[in-house]
Amino acid sequence: MPALTRDEAQTRARLLEVHRYSIDLDLTRGDETFASTTVIRFTARETGSTFLDLRPTTLHRILLDGSELDPAALTEGRYPLDGLTPGEHELRVETDMPYSRTGEGMHRFTDPADDETYLYTQGFLDDCQRVFAAFDQPDLKAVFELTVTAPHDWTVLGNGIATRTTGTGTWTIAPTPPISTYLVAVAAGPYHSVRAEHAGLPLGLHARRSLAEHLDADAAELLDITRRCFDRYHEIFDEPYPFDSYDQAFVPEFNAGAMENPGLVTFRDEFVYRSAVTDTERQTRAVVIAHEMAHMWFGDLVTLQWWDDIWLNESFAEYMGYQVVTDATPHQGAWTEFAIARKSWGYDADQRPSTHPVAPDAEAVPDSAAALLNFDGISYAKGASALRQLVAWLGEKDFLAGINDHFARHRFGNATLADFLDSLGRASDQDIHAWADRWLRTTGVDTLTPAVTTRTTDDNPTRHTWNLGVSHSGNRPHHIAVTAYDLAPAAPDALTLRERFDLAIPADGDPRPHALTGPRPDLVLLNDQDLTYAKIRLDPASWTTVRQALSAIPDPLTRSVVWNAARDMVRDGELPPAAYLDAARTHLPQESDVAVAHGVLTFARTQIADRYLAPDARPHALDTLTAVCRDILETTRERQAPGLRLTAVRALIDSAADPAELRDWLTHDTVPHGPRLDPELRWRTLHRLSVLGAATPADIDAELTRDPSATGREGAARCRAALPDPRAKAEAWNALFETDELSNYLFTATAQGFWQPEQHELLEDYLPRYHPAAVAVARRRGSAIAEAAGRWAYPAHAVHPDTRRRTEQCIGDADPVPALRRRLVDHLADLDRALHVRGM
């Protein structure tokens, strides 16, 4: 299917004004297709030609102003509309549409726990045309009214309040205000629902029936977070919530974390927890709820005009999600989690050849396929970091005034970066456009390096002063906080805060040295509280102090800045990976923040052990990590720290080399002194046993009998693919690349199990087969599977020049589809970094 180009969208928008869609969906036609009838009322401003977007199984009829058109004219998802005359028109389109098994369009899922079927739509970015015929671009907003026919025992949800016609399976969904085509949403099935109300607004939570007990257990928390976020947004935004209801549906096999459909937000249903989770994971869920709610204003009320401005949606929702959770809920560690886990996504993306500005020029996003690639760590994490820096510079009052001006000027319309900057400019006397040029129109990560010097005064040799200079590699201005710590004389592993001060770093050049009284501190830290987006370096004396007393830094957000500095130094080849492991061995057992512990363990396990160290050094790295985890379990035996214990147990399972202990845990269904092995931990344990060759297909079948859920089915697929057996590998390969029967989630689970560093000899023959197989399956199955094939099925463990050569050759010669190409380009950059760290 051809991607919609920006030029085509502009031409169509000049010609058409779209008023209303009336859509009728019949979901009772069988397992493969559903009936979709669409009536579009629009005005042509002048004589001209354009096209309609739709991807049906069968186009039965198409009528323009009552006159039959030829269905055979449909070509590659476009139906030509030639010779439109000025004035109002009505287009009627009758189709059968295909159900999806890859999370695109109308996804159909049958729950293995009870054989119930569930449907939901995902219309983003250009997938609504898999559900109904449309002029599918964000700036052709219209009113949508839907009628849905479903089995009698199903619930139907939509963007507006859904009402069932008495005694039938027909539901009418209230008309929306003007919204974009990609935001139209429907969910249908025997959903279990929890309903409530807040300030006169109907609220709903919905999940599969097999998850009913888990949704009920979490409903009070979910509704409390929802109410708190609504109240906070109504405190800071002048514009009230613009839709008639707020449903949150937790749906199966969802490709994203969530989707901001107005009035019907869809979430991946892993957010309905079946197993134990940490408070940090509950905080992450709260951030996602706040993020999607922010989209009701950023993206739904005011929508981007073209996909070059996706940051106007995602960066703002990302920033607001973390800030509103911090302001309005009990979760006070949100920015720590952002710093240690989320922000690295932006840093890593920004150092690859595929980087792009937060707000790229429109010419850099020529079509919808290019736009889809920009939903990445830059548009989310870097953009949110830039906004946090903007607030630090402008002040929150002016920032919010600019936002409210933006909403008032563009409500239910479309806007651009220039529009938003104009609103900020009206609210502040700062040069917003110059700031935007530096922060939003440039790529790459700045680096800030301290230089600390001391001297005595001429008139008093016992009086010292210390100067802080900062070397600034980059081109952005920064407003940061600097902290100075001293080691406590009586306790050499304890730190005391000496002073904290703000520092402005100009866009070009280094700031003037900052002079303070007293001897040089033991630790000088730039960017305390993580207010800017930049790599931070530590001077040698400060690094020596960190090695001794990192865990003594009192604030977890400050500790995350230090750990990020160490992480970046490893990735840049300035700190040996073993030194990072040594720091983790020394300080992680004393860590009190779950997000920090999880972030450090994840980087150490997945990057240092699996990629940055040579294979012969990997066993020692895994031994170090298991020792760290055992120490955490020992230090938490007598205190209430379930999140730390769960984090340590997960990492211990993933790093274990001796299967005996894992088998004992699985047999007794618990870790000594807790936690109990719930389904998530049991599948994780069985997966590690499978990798180590200490599990059998019979073990996997028995566990699946014990847990026949969708998650259990994915766990079984992951375990089977991980078995170090030639037949198991061949079957997994065939399922991934030859048969096309796996759903998006089962494809991912199988890919996650397939490549294992412990099995490199067994997998050697598959390495040259990966690239042609991935190119072929991506072409056949579309962008969701292309993304999964590039992300999860790539042999990332194979850090070798041959892997690099094959990847580079595939990018250059095999013409992979854009979603796969982007992943391969990123893997190539990451492979080069790993080879550099290894000295290869």
pLDDT above 90: residue 491: no
Residues 208-255: pLDDT tens digits?
A: 999 999 999 999 999 999 999 999 999 999 999 999 999 999 999 999
Q: Which pTM does this prediction carry?
A: 0.97
pLDDT interval class at 488 (50, 70, 90): confident
Both ends of the chain: CA-CA distance in Å?
Answer: 42
**What CATH number is attached to the domain comprising 109?**
2.60.40.1730
**Bond prior to 16 in cis (omega within 30° of 0):** no
What tokens appear for 806 in the block? Answer: 């094959």
In a domain, 176, yes or no: yes
Mean pLDDT of 4-30: 98
Residue 229 lies in a domain: no
Burial of 617 (0-12, 13-18, 19+ CB in 10 A): middle
Structure tokens belonging to residue 590: 């004393």
Residue 166 lies in a domain: yes
Considering the candidates 94, 104, 253, 292, report the single residue annotated as catalytic.
292
> CA-CA distance, 757 to 507, in Å (whole number)?
44
Q: 636 in a domain, yes or no?
A: no
- Cα(727)–Cα(665) distance, rounded to whole angstroms? 28
pLDDT class for 485, splitting at 50, 70, 90?
Answer: very high
Does 167 map to a domain? yes
Average pLDDT over residues 737-747: 97
49 vs 650: CA distance, rounded Å: 59
| Residue 764 is among the residues annotated as catalytic for this protein | no
Choosing from 190, 208, 241, the residue where a domain stops is: 190
- Amino acid at the residue 49: S
The secondary element (H helix, E strand) that includes residue 582 is helix 577-587
Encoded tokens for 422: 């104009």
Q: How confident is the model at residue 460 (pLDDT cuts 50, 70, 90)?
A: low
Instruction: With cut-offs at 50, 70 and 90, classify the pLDDT of residue 511.
Output: confident
Tokens found for residue 531: 């207010």
* Chain mean position to CA 493: 37
Count other C-beta atoms under 10 Å from residue 391's C-beta. Answer: 18
The answer to whether position 225 is within a domain reads no
Is 10 inside a domain boundary? yes
Categorize the per-residue pLDDT at 798 as very low, low, confident or very high, splitting at 50, 70 and 90.
very high
**Domain that includes residue 176, residue range:** 1-190
Task: Render pLDDT for 164-193 as a digit per residue (tens, 0 to 9).
Answer: 998 899 999 999 999 999 999 999 999 999
| Interatomic CA distance for residues 559 and 628, integer angstroms | 18
Tell me the pLDDT tens digit for each residue of 683-740.
999 999 999 999 999 999 999 999 999 999 999 999 999 999 999 999 999 999 999 9
Quote the longest CA-to-CA distance of the chain.
Answer: 98
% the chain with pLDDT above 70? 99
Question: Which tokens sit at 4?
Answer: 């919609």
| Token pair for 182 | 């990609």
Of 144, 162, 190, the last residue of a domain is: 190
- CB-CB contact of 147 with 135 (8 Å): no
Indicate whether 115 belongs to any domain: yes
Which residues have a Cβ under 8 Å from the Cβ of 220 and sit 6 or more positions away? Answer: none
Average pLDDT on 580-589 reads 97
pLDDT per position as a tens digit, 329-360:
999 999 999 999 999 999 999 999 999 999 99
Stretch 358-364: mean pLDDT: 92
Q: Which three-class secondary structure state does DSSP give residue 228?
A: helix
pLDDT bin (cut points 50, 70, 90) of residue 458 is low
Judge whether residue 314 has pLDDT over 70. Answer: yes
- Please check the confidence at residue 197 and state whether its pLDDT lies above 80: yes
Residue 463: pLDDT above 80? no
pLDDT band per the 50, 70, 90 thresholds, residue 459: low
Give the chain's domain count: 2
Q: Sign of the CA dihedral 592, 595, 596, 598? A: positive
Instruction: Report the alpha-carbon distance of residue 753 to residue 760 in Å, rounded.
Output: 13
Res. 794: pLDDT tops 90:
yes
Instruction: Give the per-residue pLDDT at 462.
Output: 60
Predicted confidence at residue 66, as pLDDT, reads: 98
Choosing from 137, 163, 190, the residue where a domain stops is 190
Instruction: Tell me what percent of the residues of the chain surpass a pLDDT of 90.
Output: 95
What mean pLDDT do residues 309-318 have? Answer: 95
Question: Which pLDDT value is given to residue 457?
Answer: 63
Give me the residues paired with residue 129 across strands.
none
